Structure 1
């Protein structure tokens, strides 16, 4: 699909000054098992019109069909509780800047949240067939049979109940797109679309909002945009000086995306613009905005300290990026040195020399939740996701302390509760993913066991302070489990042995496995085994 370009005379018109605050409401669940994973149908988002254009701002409205969907309102999904809860956070640490988000300045708001019925029995019922729920990542190099998958991502359509297309990125720079629909034991593996955007390991892969393009970031210091229909690279994004760790599409502007790397840079790209240079090829793009030393320490003057010199320490990596759904110009990032999140204002501003200024950091987390435990030093964030439905307005971070910490999106303040498992260990390759319904999280794991884990986060804001909520363990193969992602009705996990395994809730099969484990082990893997 060709990528549209804007007029060279207005290369950065996408970044106007605008503020659009929306407060998403809670999203309930029905009693059917599949509905717990199904998310609301996603329509292509459009940025509200600018006030200067004289247009009226519009809020997204839920249609009657969506209200009657499996994730629609269901009073039976609640326990009886009419208490009003006050979400209290410590004041945000704000940096000196000309403009602040009004959402971050407002005081804590009293909200009424009734606790959801526990979905623990559903998580415990997840099973995976050894015959029909396994996909192998074939190597493209001579001398090896399988390639370790580093990351995976379901399409937006798959998360809304459509065809479950899964993109799997490997250590060899290959991307496989496979249909993970449920099949019979005797059915062959599905037909796979294969393309090669990189010749180095791919650490993150994301679909654009229309499911027509894939963004991949790699150890070759590049990000690339691939057309799903042709499998060809349509844009090469150059700007990083180190391994690119994460990528995130702007949900309200389909041509914009951001990348973060081990060089400490955050790069913002606009696929409609970019300077084409003949010596680098006609498809090369350069970032329209960059944030250097994004997670370095801040000095007394409010400026970040950039490592310089031959003996300077390694830059602090950018490990996660998510766009705030409360303000379309706010980008939240995480780093590898501590559990502090930072929020950046992406609206363009120019100095007297007409040079574009670096986006300012509006505010950051007031406290580091990785230091909440006694005698604990700061530990970095490995993967970052945002909540939806009942967890809308929250962010979840998988940290190097082997815990998942919860943050408020508007203030970036950390809640006292966390999620962990006695066998959960982390490394650079482990990912965190949120289910479409917003009630569950899944993460990979490293170490001897090499398991994946699932957590119920429906009551993330009601857990006891400083309490660690345990999860459900999924054992499948040897080696580390890295990439994970959810679709409607299933979870995919990637393993170092070159296998991708699918998990689905099935109470009857799980009970049979628990009753006769030795007999069923040949055919099934199951939660808690």
Structure 2
């Protein structure tokens, strides 16, 4: 595959007049590169999150998490299928929707449907800590490229949370050090004849379930900037972490919003 990919790149040079589909058709993965994700019973289950390591000499290691909470490390340079998977463990008893490597380290963070994120030492398969604070499934987790202790998560509860593993644990769990509640709430469109009261976001408290809009993706652009995407509002938002979003009794206002430029009839 790497050889074929290089060939595609050469064909796709500035002077090339070949259509894109022709280039894509020339790039194929062999059957030996097709791998199923299995659960505890040995049945195939959907993989949800995957990420390559950025640690020295481990750049070829791919971590894959699946619906039954298993994490498997694949050696993509393995010459035989029998040596492809060199470590696996059940990280959660619920689905793992996303995972992220600690930059340059042999550690990984998993985000799960059990409402927690977990920090793991992948060499020893050891659990280093549990992050507890979300009220629904975690959908995304991300580090910045330059910070090993700080990461962010986004959840179906509509909240973005920032964690710092240098902080002391409380009751045995890591607790968020910053939070943006109801990051992608949409305006309630109830008719005047059927008013519906909405509890205001008081200093970091999550909104009522009826108003929770899932945060599907979070990215740490740098030390002070988080980018997020919402499942319902179709908006990409940029947040400045130097601002206190829990000060006022209203939905948080991002530094910048990028609305979906097209049209869609889908509700989600």
Asked if Structure 1 and Structure 2 have the same fold, meaning a TM-score greater than 0.5 normalized by the shorter chain, the answer is yes
Confirm or deny that 1:205 pairs with 2:102: no
Matches within 5 A, 1:2-401: 33-34=5-6, 77-78=13-14, 120-130=21-31, 132-141=32-41, 144-156=42-54, 163-181=59-77, 183=79, 188-277=82-171, 281=172, 284-297=173-186, 313-324=210-221, 328-347=223-242, 361-365=254-258, 367-371=259-263, 376-377=264-265, 380=268
With over 3 angstroms needed to count, the CA separation of the structure-2 counterparts of 1:227 and 1:369, relative to structure 1, is same
Shift in Å, 1:255: 1.1
Counterpart secondary structure, 2:92: coil
How far apart are residue 364 of structure 1 and its match? 0.8
Partner Cα separation in structure 2 for residue 116 and residue 164 of structure 1 = 33
User: Contact between 1:370 and 1:378, CA under 8 Å: does it hold in 2?
Assistant: no
Q: Distance in 1 between matches of 2:82 and 2:246?
A: 61
Q: Which residue is 1:99 aligned to?
A: none
Q: Could you tell me how far apart the structure 2 residues matched to 1:166 and 1:117 are?
A: 32
Return the alpha-carbon distance in structure 2 between the equivalents of residues 337 and 350 of structure 1. 21
- Greater relative contact order (CA < 8 Å, ≥ 6 in sequence): 1
Aligned to 2:154, the other structure's residue is in SS state: strand
Assess if the C-alpha contact under 8 Å between 2:103 and 2:147 holds in 1.
Answer: no
Structure 1 residue ranges without an equivalent (≥5): 1-30, 38-69, 71-75, 80-114, 353-357, 381-529
Q: Given that residues 151 and 220 in structure 2 are in contact (C-alpha distance below 8 angstroms), is that contact kept between their aligned partners in structure 1?
A: no
1:175 Cα deviation after fit: 0.5
Q: Report the Cα offset of residue 230 of structure 1.
A: 0.8
Looking at structure 2, the residues matched to 314 and 166 of structure 1 have their Cα atoms a distance apart, in angstroms, of 37
Shift of 1:153: 1.7
Q: Are the structure 2 counterparts of residues 350 and 34 from structure 1 closer, same or farther at C-alpha, using a change threshold of 3 Å?
A: closer
> SS of 2:210's equivalent?
coil
Is residue 182–residue 252 contact of structure 2 (8 Å, CA) maintained in 1?
no
RMSD: 3.6
TM-score normalised according to structure 2 size: 0.77
What TM-score, normalized to structure 1? 0.41
Distance (whole Å) between structure 2 residues aligned to residue 226 and residue 116 of structure 1:
48
Cα 1:169–1:238 change in 2 (3 A) is: same
Aligned residues between the structures: 248
Equivalent residue for 2:193? none
- After superposition, the Cα gap between the structure-2 partners of 1:122 and 1:235, relative to the gap in structure 1 and judged at 3 Å, is farther
Structure 1 pair 119/154, CA: closer, same or farther in 2 (3 Å)? farther
1:34 is paired with a residue whose SS is: helix
**1:346 and 1:139, CA in 2 relative to 1: closer, same or farther beyond 3 A?**
same
**Runs (5+) with no aligned partner, structure 2:** 189-198
Q: 1:298 to 1:253 in 2, by over 3 A?
A: farther
Which one has a bigger Cα radius of gyration?
1
Deviation of 1:224 after TM superposition, in Å, equals: 0.6
